[in-house]
Chains A and B, each alone.
Chain A
Amino acid sequence: MTVAPATRETGALARFGTALRRHKMASLGGGIVVLAALSAIFAPWLSPHDPLEQDVLLRLAGPSADFPLGNDSFGRDILSRILWGGRVSLYVSTASVLIAIVLGGAIGILAGYVGGLFDRIVMAAMDVLLSFPTLVMGLLVVAMLGPTVGNLILAITLTAVAPFARIARAPTLTIKERDFIEAGRALGFSNLRIMIVHILPNVIDEILVMASLWLATAIRTEASLSFIGLGVRPPTATWGGMIREGFENILDQPLLAIFPSIAILVVMFGLNMLGDGLRDTSDPRLRHE
């Protein structure tokens, strides 16, 4: 029985767009993520106040007309600090996940395509990296190299590379057996061309699904490290740092800890919804294979 194919596009983003429109949770998640990203990017313009500006008189004040979310223990505007804190989270998580995608993806595709001993050695190395929980890796790196944003990114990237390598390798193993890969070799294509032009686009779906889920992990890790004081140094606003301050003042002003927690919660929720939705909709049904 022949069924007429449903959609035309197979560019990855176009497909995801179509899929998302049909999948409500993913759309919701996507919306939240976009909103969070925009508010982080435009924080300098959206913030009503300077996030570093202190006002002792307003210590631990609750929400007011001028300061919709209240003030922290230094009198700084919580709303502005949340917006600016989002920038740190956005920057750290996006940078580390991007680097991990490129590195991990390349390693995974290469290992899967070349196979043999090379594959085994590389995957063993990945297994070693996988055995480190992200937080522990973060602690190690920061403790040894110092608590800078760069080192934070390094720490998260190190733990993210291995999962991305795995997630790129698995479909590579299947795809390289497909006839069109052999056709490429028969046509004189170099192995590099085959990996980049032919294997990568067929692997990108899985990578993108993982990317959204790992963004959530990265945000959580950054926040956790900031919470225990090993993240970005104060007075820079970070969500984790704000929660830490909030804990110190929890009896006096619980809102101090609650608002940044909600921010993290909402963004992670959005990313997870997005990731789940992408996973659900990137099945072969959509690829007409």
Chain B
Amino acid sequence: MSGVLLDVQGLSKSFTVRRGFMGGALATVHALNGVSFSIGPGEAFGLVGESGCGKSTAGRAILRLIEADSGTVLFKGESVFAADTGALRRLRRQMQIVFQDPYSSLNPRRTINQTLSEPMRVHGMGSSTEIREAVHAVLGEVGMPSDAAGKYPHEFSGGQRQRIGIARALVLQPELVVADEPVSALDVSIQAQILVLLRNLQQKRNLSFVFISHDLGVVRHFCRSVAVMYLGRIVERGPIPGIFDEPLHPYTRALRNASPVPDPAAKVTMAKLEGEVASALAPPSGCHFHPRCPHATEICRQVYPPWTELSSGRGVACHLYPPEPTGAAPS
């Protein structure tokens, strides 16, 4: 393990929203609340959770596409938040993003060549000829034919557009890619194609990923470790497959149990998980998950559980696993 590529500490972000129709009351949504994790070079790290958990916000905050309220993000030791315009531009070359919606991620008025060459031109990465060659090279890398360069996005299918979006993220030769639900909008058979492509690219270029997804199966397949988020906080973090085979946090377990698997013998179980995902506008007191948790006790209603680091790289924020020397884990 040659050091840390990305180090996120205490990332927090709130939004104020206006409730009601005309000039209603202002409310605060804590989209991110003290999110911390770190990733090494060439590592695929998953961020999972359901809608409203903050995973997409985290991805964007890391890249400074959204300005976080507090926290630090260090990329190869350099602070992303403290970077000035010039430094940020340099950093941006090394950290890129792939989006979920292939129909929104490409400018419909630009050819593929223009879309792919523009970043290289803006960053002065070579002469026209070199850039043109680089465009062809990256198209080949993502499995697109060379003649795609002269065409427009509407001439391609969703899966192909996603490949082009990936190509665009690669032209600046980044070391980290934030992939925000990169396969969720694709058909099942295309999902597999893109996952295989991403895996190949990762190996070839030693890319690190922040892989954001709500699909545990996809994350299990692609990532080495994962953090589970709920209402803006990480509730459990750990290596794969351990965290899915033996989840510690009740929410992780519920998430895993609720994820459908293509096996009729393994029916989706609910495990008494009633209730809605709590509203981010009014998160429950104490542990945000307590209203839905089968193991909730009095302390869960009062105090947000502290983070416990266990051996083997696992961590969890749950009163079932208080931070003690022995750190025993009841099942």
Write the residues of chain A forming the contact surface with B, with a CB cutoff of 8 angstroms: 2, 5, 8, 10-12, 178-180, 182-183, 185-189, 193, 197-198, 201-202, 287-289
Contacts and interface: CB of A to CB of B under 8 A. Distances in A.
B81 interface: no
A179 B105 contact: yes
Contact of B107 (A2, A8, A198): A198
A190 to B, nearest CB: 8
B64 to A, nearest CB: 9
Give the most central of A179, A187, A289: most B CB within 10 Å: A187
Contact of A289 (B96, B108, B122): B108
Given A8-B155, A10-B154, A187 B104 contact: no
Contacts of A11: 109
Contacts of A187: 92, 96, 118-119, 122, 168, 172
Given A186-B65, A186-B92, A187-B96, A180 B151 contact: no
A106 B23 CA distance: 30
Given A10-B154, A182-B97, A288-B154, A188 B107 contact: no
B152 interface: yes
B99 interface: yes
B6 to A, nearest CB: 15
B105 A197 contact: no
A180 B101 CA distance: 10
B106 interface: yes
Given A186-B97, A189-B122, A179 B104 contact: yes
Contacts of B155: 5, 8
A124 to B, nearest CB: 18
A10 B65 contact: no
A4 B100 CA distance: 23
Contacts of A201: 107, 109-110
Contact of B108 (A182, A185, A287): A287
Interface of B: 60, 63, 65, 88-89, 92-93, 95-97, 99-101, 103-110, 115, 118-119, 122-123, 151-152, 154-155, 157, 165, 168, 172
Contacts of A287: 108, 154
Given A5-B155, A288-B154, A183 B118 contact: no
A182 B122 contact: no
Nearest to B88: A188
A97 B128 CA distance: 37
Contact of B93 (A178, A183, A188): A188
26 contacts: A5-B155, A8-B155, A11-B109, A12-B109, A178-B104, A179-B100, A179-B101, A180-B105, A180-B107, A180-B115, A182-B65, A183-B99, A183-B165, A186-B63, A186-B65, A186-B92, A186-B95, A187-B118, A187-B119, A187-B168, A188-B93, A188-B122, A197-B110, A288-B108, A289-B103, A289-B108
B119 to A, nearest CB: 4
A172 to B, nearest CB: 14
B109 A10 contact: yes
Contacts of B104: 178-180
At the interface, is chain A mostly helix, strand, loop or mixed?
helix
A178 B103 CA distance: 9
Contacts of B108: 10, 202, 287-289
B152 A185 contact: no
A182 B96 CA distance: 11
B96 to A, nearest CB: 6
B50 to A, nearest CB: 21
Nearest to A289: B108
A179 B100 CA distance: 9
B29 to A, nearest CB: 18
A122 B23 CA distance: 21
Given A186-B92, A188-B93, A193-B122, A10 B107 contact: no
Nearest to A193: B122
B315 to A, nearest CB: 29
Given A180-B107, A201-B110, 4 more contacts: A10-B108, A179-B101, A182-B60, A187-B122
A287 to B, nearest CB: 6
A188 B119 contact: yes
A5 to B, nearest CB: 6
A183 B122 contact: no
Nearest to A181: B107
A236 to B, nearest CB: 42
A2 B65 contact: no
Contact of A183 (B88, B89, B97, B157): B97
Contacts of B65: 182, 185-186
B105 to A, nearest CB: 4
